Chains A and B, each alone.
With several copies, the nearest count.
Chain A
Amino acid sequence: MTDQPPIIDQAKEQSEPVQQPLPLAFVNGEAVIDKPEDLYIPPDALEVILETFEGPLDLLLYLIRKQKFDIVNLPILQITKQYMEYVDLMKDLKLELAAEYLLMAAILAEVKSRLLLPKRQDAEEDEDDPRAELIRRLKEYEAIKKVAEELDNMPRQERDLFTGHAAPDESVEPIKVLPDVTLQELVLSFQSALKKAKAFEHHHIEREALSTRERMSMILERVSRHHFTGFDELFEASEGKAGVVVTFLAILELVKENLLELVQGEPYANIHVKVSSVQEW
């Protein structure tokens, strides 16, 4: 033992001898009541004890358990008396006494007085026990108190378990989510681009149908710079007359712009097409 045990230990040592004989005195709540003077605890120690109660229900449970009372046959007279002693002590110590403690005192007093009233003969026997509600509350609170302790003891993060992580390899790269673009934005952009073009009016505006321009792109893509492609390979019979015309116009346009070269070995022979390699400079 150290010279100066912590206050809380002192309190336990000194309070327990006082409370030990109590269970012997209270059997089924029908025994003599203790005297308040017996309950001497050094004031500063008591303060620590009292502050550990979570409220009146907790204090009542403490009193009941300490004296091994059966909660179902709650000896209301004794409990009330002891409870009031604690409440008085708290007052004496000028502890900030929560209103809940006084409310409980009132409830206990009411239950006690109802118990003292003679029972009416015609009353249904069990329904009228004035302690019932208090007992229910005590049991309910005790159940919650117990699971709260269990919860506190359960393995939990930060204290008992830690999550394991591994670093992604350097080659892991987040997938890029590309922005959405609407057709309307595209059209408005075209409009704004053209509006900006101050010199627009002086420029020659190409009159080709867009489908011809599209076909021009397609043909340029299909035709190689290095090999000749058969002229007729560029036409798709399935496109019908209009398709053939568009393709033909596109080829003429490309030839005109010196983008395509046409070669024909002899009259009526197959025409071949190649991306122009003419250097004009």
Chain B
Amino acid sequence: MAKISAAQLKQLVEAAIFVADGPLTKEQLQNTVLQDLKVSKKQLDEALVELELDYRPRGIQLVEVASGYRFQSMDSLSPWLSKMWHEHVPRYSRAMMETLALIAYRQPITRGEIEDVRGVSVSSHIIKTLSERDWIKIVGHKEVPGRPALYATTRQFLDYFSLKSLAELPPIEEFVPPEQDDDELTLHLAQEINQTVSAPQDTSTDVNESEQTINQEQLH
């Protein structure tokens, strides 16, 4: 066909823009799909205007971008369409995990206090990531010079780990891996932590000691 009806032209232009690998300019349309058809500039313009109008009420819109015409989704549908793609965030770094752990076990705690324990500065990125995940939040400010923010874990944090309360956080010594290089220090720490975690009503020292004995035995 050397000539083409207005309806056919619209179908052809529509299909071409949909199947093209990228946006199409009017020139590209004339040089490819319309090559052997006598289509005037005006006819093509009209077809494009009509298509634009046809698609207004639809979920897909005909738009002209820098490199030509293309169809794109209605912007109001984005929140739902976003669910079609997933982006996997890489695993959390050691620094991130240690910061989270310190906030969990030592809350409310300032950034400076975390840095004191870890011996290195805590990057803003870490605090931001943990806050965005809704695992930590600022619960106040410490009344010391600079009034640093006090961080604590959130209910979402507890939910994520299926904990009813922080008291359910495991006492540390249960997780002491075998072959600790620094047994003495670890045991000492474990004791401190154990008391901190499981002894709100002042658990007797006897219990802790006996628990430690068991663990020591298990280590050997």
Contact = CB atoms under 8 A, between A and B. Distances in A.
Interface string A239-281: 0001000100000000001110000000000000001101111
A120 B88 CA distance: 61
B19 A162 contact: yes
A144 B101 contact: yes
B161 A151 contact: yes
A91 B105 CA distance: 35
Mostly, the B contact residues are mixed
A177 B89 contact: yes
B75 A169 contact: yes
A280 B97 CA distance: 33
A140 interface: yes
A179 interface: yes
A167 B71 contact: yes
B180 A126 contact: yes
A58 B117 CA distance: 11
Given A55-B118, A100-B120, A169-B74, A187 B189 contact: no
A172 B73 contact: yes
A206 B85 CA distance: 46
B78 A160 contact: yes
A169 B172 CA distance: 46
Contacts of B95: 54
A159 B12 CA distance: 16
A208 to B, nearest CB: 7
Contacts of A184: 170, 175
Contact of B166 (A156, A164, A203, A211): A211
B121 A100 contact: yes
Nearest to A203: B116
Q: Which 10 A-B pairs have the closest CB atoms?
A: A209-B200, A126-B180, A164-B18, A217-B152, A55-B120, A190-B101, A174-B85, A189-B97, A166-B18, A162-B19
Interface of A: 54-58, 72, 98, 100, 104, 125-129, 132-133, 135-137, 139-152, 154-179, 181, 183-201, 203, 205-214, 216-218, 220-221, 242, 246, 257-259, 275-276, 278-281
